[in-house]
Amino acid sequence: MRIRSTVVRIAVPAVALGLVLSGCAGSDDSGSGTSAIGITNDINPHDVSELRDGGNLRLPFSGYPKNWNSLQIDGGDTDVTNIERPMMPQAFRINAAGEPSLDTDYFTSVELTSTEPQQVTYTINPKAVWSDGTPITWEDIAAQANALSGRDKTFLIQANQGFDRVAKVERGVDDRQAVLTFSKHFADWRGQFAGNSFLFPKSVTATPESFNKSLVDNITLTAGPFLVQSTDRAQGRIVLGRNPLWWGEKPKLDTITWSLLDSAAYLPALRNNELDWAGIASRDELKSVEGAPDIDIRRAPANQWSHLTFNGAPGSLLSDPKVRVAISKAIDRQGIATAIDNGLVADPKPLNNHIYLEGQKGYQDNSLGYDPDAAARELDEAGWKLNGDVREKDGRKLEIRDVMYNQDVWVQIAQIMQQNLARIGVKLTIDTKPGTGYFTDFIQPGDFDVAQWSWVGDAFPLTNMFQIWGYDPKDLQGNYGRIGSPELNDLIEKTVSELDPNKAIEMANQVDRKIFEEGHSIPLLQSPGIVAVRANLANYGARGLATYDWTKVGFLK
């Protein structure tokens, strides 16, 4: 599944742009990290017997939730998801290699019980209850499946998560069992309540009104080791406390406090002992905390990746796929990677796949490559002729507006692209926006020519392929660039329907190549995931693809 992220603490270039663009590293420090997801992470693992009871974990977030329903279009960003992870049910835990295992706190069994038709049977842990004491039942699963099915467009969903392929949900042997029958095969059936997706109570998902509006101000029913203890929008603070009705292992922490901060304030707050975690955003920031007392540096490539999305809506400046492809060929993504990750990873590389993260099973390079000379020729062939420094066609100049969150890293990436594109007669204007309202006010309405943000991947990369790269003008979901084709839609459909994992990987890479060829978007960088944390914090840090066990996060004795 993909969720969006407006603020990602990936590395900020630590050298002057002049050096960056000439290909110079600007330092002998090649970094000790890697750019690929691996089979391990860096969370300072310890047995719970070594942790003290109690304590407050202090974490930052960058934007107050516009909607606590992370299934709803306004709630589908990484801040909401991260805050809710200790509170909401999921079917599977994920290890550092991206491999799922059943989360028995919530389900005693989740099995593919038939292939013709495809059926998946969820058996709910009989101890599992919502935070008001009501049991989690098959009706919660059924309500969510219906809400996300897409059959009722008044449910303003972020993505359907494969529930458009679920024909019905029925009660099993009792109220604690749900049987999902699919109308079409769904390859990533394990990811429907896992990865970046949670199970919500039927009180939230039963009607469009409750789905869209009931969690705008706060979250109500949860079912995890923690629940919301207090919120203070004026102070920008959210405090989670232990759930007194939690039936699983007792969590070690008393509270988790989320503080609303500008991303530039994360590291200073950590050094001032006001936070316990901060992302590393540059080589200079890394050096500023290396060797600092009571602070550890932890490294594991993150599952966030930055990209550039084109606006190809009918009538837009970039509606012609030939123009979008030409522009993509003129962007030196390797140069961007060298500049951004220099000194942080040993061998900086761009991300060359939309579907899979580097190091994840299935990853291969399907990109079109960097070829500014070919880009210039293709723009000529498309009728965009050079007139001075900027190309023109039919009285329109090829001046494109790049919309992004106002953060140094995004601006500096845009400055590199600005110089790349100037070489072929394309003018790129940098247009920064605040984090609050970034998606609802600019990206969702299509108020951009190109735009930068990050997607957050997980262990179920096929779940929402159609969400971003499929195109239905009546149901855009996450395809904010409004780009697609019947051919791509058909290829996505065949991939998502393939129950053979190896065949699905092969077909997903065909989808990826087609995405490049249509000029939908171009991946830029996978975050190196370097973080600074309080040294005595255990079972938390740089998690890679893994999910945290929130009952085991805590401080050493």
Sort strands 255-260 and 56-61 into parallel, antiparallel or unpaired: parallel
Residue 32: what pLDDT? 57
Cβ burial of 269 (10 Å; 0-12, 13-18, 19+) is middle
Residue 223: what pLDDT? 98
Using 50, 70 and 90 to split pLDDT, how confident is the model at 409? confident
Residue 21: what pLDDT? 28
Question: What are the tokens at 164?
Answer: 């458009």
Res 494 pLDDT > 60: yes
> What are residue 531's phi and psi, to 5 degrees?
-130, 155
Give the whole-number percent of the chain exceeding pLDDT 70.
Answer: 93
Cβ burial of 339 (10 Å; 0-12, 13-18, 19+) is buried
Residue 523: what pLDDT? 97
Residue 37: what pLDDT? 61
Contact 136, 223 (CB under 8 A): yes
d(C-alpha 501, C-alpha 123), whole Å? 24
Question: What are the tokens at 496?
Answer: 């998502």
Number of H helices, E strands in the chain: 14, 24
d(C-alpha 182, C-alpha 189), whole Å? 10
Give the whole-number percent of the chain exceeding pLDDT 90.
Answer: 78
Res 3 pLDDT > 70: no
Q: Give CA separation, 306 vs 75, 173, 199, in Å.
A: 19, 45, 27
Domains in the chain: ranges and CATH: 48-62+225-300+530-556 (3.40.190.10), 78-214 (3.90.76.10), 304-526 (3.10.105.10)
Residue 99: what pLDDT? 87
Q: How many residues does the chain have?
A: 557
Residue 423: what pLDDT? 98
pLDDT tens, position by position, 223-263:
999 999 999 999 999 999 999 999 999 999 999 999 999 88
pLDDT tens, position by position, 120-134:
999 999 999 999 999
Contact 1, 186 (CB under 8 A): no
Res 436 pLDDT > 60: yes
Contact 405, 435 (CB under 8 A): yes
Q: What is the average pLDDT across 447-455? A: 95
Higher pLDDT, 174 or 63: 174
Contact 100, 298 (CB under 8 A): no
d(C-alpha 90, C-alpha 107), whole Å? 8
d(C-alpha 88, C-alpha 85), whole Å? 6
Using 50, 70 and 90 to split pLDDT, how confident is the model at 18? very low
Contact 272, 532 (CB under 8 A): no
Q: What is the mean pLDDT of the chain?
A: 91
β strands within 273-384, DSSP E: 277-279, 295-299, 304-310
Residue 60: what pLDDT? 97
Q: Give CA separation, 417 vs 102, 168, 263, 332, 377, in Å.
A: 44, 48, 23, 7, 19
d(C-alpha 240, C-alpha 233), whole Å? 14
